[in-house]
Amino acid sequence: MSNTLFDALLQGRSTGNGDLFIAADGSTCMSDQAFFDLVGRLSTLLIHTGVLPGERVAVQVPKCIEALALYVACLRAGAVFLPLNTAYTESELTYFINDAAPTVLVVDAQCQAMGERLMDASRVFSLATERGVACGGSVLSAAANITVIADVVTRHGDDLAAILYTSGTTGRSKGAMLTHDNLLSNGVTLVNAWRFTANDVLLHALPIFHTHGLFVACNVLMLSGGRMLFQPGFSTDAILGALSQATTLMGVPTFYTRLLADQRFSRDCVNHMRLFVSGSAPLLADTHRAFEQRTGQRILERYGMTETNMNTSNPYEGERIAGTVGPPLPGVEVRICDAHTGAEVAPGDVGVLQVRGPNVFVGYWQMPDKTREELLPDGFFITGDLAIIDEKGYVTIVGRSKDLIICGGYNIYPKELEQVIDQLPGVSESAVVGVPHTDFGEAVVAAVVAEPTAVGRTLNGEQIITQLGESLARFKLPRKVFFVDELPRNTMGKVQKNRLREQWQQVFS
C-alpha cells in the first residue's frame, strides 16, 4: 500500500538516530519505534470508529507528543487532519464542526462535555495532559490494547492530508485544503534549503495547530531524521535551559524579543546552534540587528501562509537581509500585481504578491466561489499581501491589502509608518490602522507601546506626529496616536489590527 506523506515521514525516521524522537518538557521521552507503534494503534482506532479515507478528524487538545501522533495517525488511516486552535470557544468550534463535518472529534479531557454537545458522544474522544505530557483520556485507553491493522491506507499525492482554517479576522474562517503533495513537496524543499540532517535537534516551542509548528517544524524534522525537544509552549527559562541540547530553533518574533530581554541570553548560550528561523509575523529589523550583536548569528526570516506553507526564505548560505523574507524557495514562483487590474507592476513597485508552486493549496473547503476568486486559472494564488521585489530577487512584505489605508485618495502603507515610529526614542513597537473619517474616507491612527524606560517621560502623541513629519509626507501622518500597554496578538504573534480598528472606529464620528 502506498501513502504519499506517511511513507515519506516513516522513511525519514528510519534514517535517523533511532535513539530519541521527542523529549517533552525535559521529562518524557519517546523513541521512534514507540511513536510509530502509538501511531499505528491510533490510526486503527480511527478506522474502527468509522473514519473512512477522506473524512475529517478534528482535534483540539493541548500540545503533547500524543497530539502529534494523532496527526500522523490520520495520515496513516487516510483521514484528513483538522487541527483547531486551543483558544477557540464552544461557539467558535460550532462553526468549524458544522462546516467540516468531522467523523471524529478529539478534545481536551476537561472539554469532554462540550465535545458531546457538538457531536455524537460515540465519536468524541478525550486526551488528558498535564504540563505538556499526556496522562490519560479515552483516546489513549481505547487504543492501548488494540490490534493494529497492518496495512496503511492508500493515499496519493493529490488526496487531501489536512484542512487548516484561516484566522478569520475578516468574514468567515476559510478551510484551506492541503494535499499530501503540498505538504511533502514543501517539507522536502525546506529540508534541503535549511540543511536539515539526522544530526539536528530542534527546540520546538510552537503550537501544533498551525502551519509553522506542525508542517514546517514537525514535517521537516521527521523527513530529515532529526530529533525534537518538544516543549508545551514558550518559556524563557525553559528555552534557556534546553538550548544546550539543540542545534536549531524555529520561532515567532516574540521568542527572540523575549530572549533578548533576558541578560542570561548570551553568545555562550548559542555557540553550538547552527540555525534560528523566524516567521508567522514580521521580524523588526531592530530585533534582527540586536540578535546578531548579542549572539553573532543572523536570524533566518522566511514567509509563508496557511494556504501555501513556505514561499520564500532568506538563504542559509548567503546574505540574510533584515526586513526582507528572502527570494522564492526552489520550485516556487512569485509575481507582484496591481490589485485592481491583475497586471504585473514595474520592478520595485508595490503590489499584491501572488505565488505558484507545488506547495499551493487546492482550494477552500465548501467555498468554490472564494477559491475561484483567490486561486487563479494559471495556478497563481493571490496572497493578499502587499510586497515589493528588489533587484536581487528578495521579497519585502509591506502589509496586507486589507490593511491598506486610503486617505483622501492617497494610498498609505501602514508598515512604512510603523518602521519610522519604531525608530523614535522611547518607542518599543507600534501598529498603524485606518479608521472611518467623514471627510477623507479613512484616517490614520497609530497605537504605540512605550519602552519601559520611557514611562514617565514627556513622550506624547503630538511629539510623535511632529517627529514623523520630518521624514514623511503630511498626508501619511497619523491624526491620532494612542498609547497602549501591549498590542493585541493572536497565538502566532501576529498583531490583530482588526481589533484596533474596531476599538477606534468611532473616534472621528
Q: How far apart are CA 40 and CA 149, in angstroms?
A: 7
The pLDDT score that the predictor gives to residue 167 is: 62
Instruction: Give, for 164, the enclosing helix (H) or strand (E).
Output: strand 160-165
User: In this predicted model, what pLDDT tens digit does every residue of 56-82 receive, in sequence order?
Assistant: 999 999 999 999 999 999 999 999 999
Report which of 115, 40, 111 is spatially closest to residue 70, judged by C-alpha positions: 40
- Kindly state the average pLDDT of the residues 181-190: 98
Q: How far apart are CA 94 and CA 450, in angstroms?
A: 39
Cell of 110: 476537561
pTM for the model: 0.84
Q: Which residue has the higher pLDDT, 348 or 437?
A: 348
Helix 180-193 and helix 4-14: axis angle, to 10°? 30
The pLDDT score that the predictor gives to residue 133 is: 81
> Averaging pLDDT over each range in 296-310, 401-415, 449-463, which range is the top one?
296-310
Instruction: Give, for 12, the enclosing helix (H) or strand (E).
Output: helix 4-14
Enumerate the H helices of 103-179 as residue ranges. 112-118, 138-143
Q: Which amino acid is located at 149 in the chain?
A: I
**Per-residue DSSP letter, 214:** I
Lowest average pLDDT, out of 161-170, 256-265, 497-506, goes to 161-170
- Kindly state the average pLDDT of the residues 175-203: 97
The pLDDT score that the predictor gives to residue 91 is: 82
Long-range pairs of 187-190 with CB within 8 A, sequence gap ≥ 24? 187/8, 187/215, 187/216, 187/219, 187/220, 187/223, 188/8, 188/223, 189/310, 189/329, 189/330, 189/331, 189/332, 189/359, 190/216, 190/220, 190/310, 190/313, 190/329
Cell of 211: 502551519
Give the chain's mean pLDDT.
89
The pLDDT score that the predictor gives to residue 408 is: 66
Lowest average pLDDT, out of 4-18, 32-46, 151-165, 415-429, goes to 4-18
Mode of pairing for the β-strands spanning 227-230 and 275-278:
unpaired
Q: How far apart are CA 329 and CA 185, in angstroms?
A: 11
Q: Strands of 351-356's sheet, edge to edge?
A: 333-337, 351-356, 381-389, 395-400
User: In this predicted model, what pLDDT tens digit does every residue of 235-292 receive, in sequence order?
Assistant: 999 999 999 999 999 998 889 989 999 999 999 999 999 999 998 877 878 888 999 9
The band of 26, judged by pLDDT with boundaries at 50, 70 and 90, is: low
CATH architecture of 32-181: 3-Layer(aba) Sandwich (3.40)
Question: Right CATH number for 404-504 from 1.10.10.10, 3.30.300.30, 3.90.660.10, 3.50.50.60?
Answer: 3.30.300.30
The pLDDT score that the predictor gives to residue 423 is: 87
The pLDDT score that the predictor gives to residue 60 is: 95
Of all residues in the chain, what percent carry a pLDDT higher than 90?
A: 63
Q: Is the pLDDT of residue 183 over 90?
A: yes
The pLDDT score that the predictor gives to residue 274 is: 96
The pLDDT score that the predictor gives to residue 259 is: 94
Backbone phi and psi for residue 247, each to the nearest 5 degrees, phi listed first: -115, -20
The band of 203, judged by pLDDT with boundaries at 50, 70 and 90, is: very high
CATH architecture of 234-401: 3-Layer(aba) Sandwich (3.40)
Q: Is the pLDDT of residue 321 over 50?
A: yes
Q: Is the pLDDT of residue 410 over 70?
A: no
Q: Which residue has the higher pLDDT, 39 or 497?
A: 39
- Kindly state the average pLDDT of the residues 313-337: 94
Q: Is the pLDDT of residue 409 over 90?
A: no
User: In this predicted model, what pLDDT tens digit does every residue of 108-136 receive, in sequence order?
Assistant: 999 999 999 999 999 999 999 887 788 88
> Residue length, the chain?
509
Q: What secondary structure does DSSP assign to 374-427, as a single string?
A: HB-TTS-EEEEEEEEE-TT--EEEEEEGGG-EEETTEEE-HHHHHHHHHTSTTE
32-181 and 234-401: identical CATH topology: yes
Considering all CA atoms of the chain, what is the largest pairwise distance in Å, rounded to the nearest integer?
72
The pLDDT score that the predictor gives to residue 359 is: 98
Tell me if residue 247 falls in helix, strand or coil: coil
From the number of C-beta atoms within 10 Å of its C-beta (0-12, 13-18, 19+), residue 156 rates as exposed
Q: How far apart are CA 238 and CA 258, in angstroms?
A: 12
Would you kindly state where each structural domain of the chain is located, as residue ranges? 32-181, 234-401, 404-504
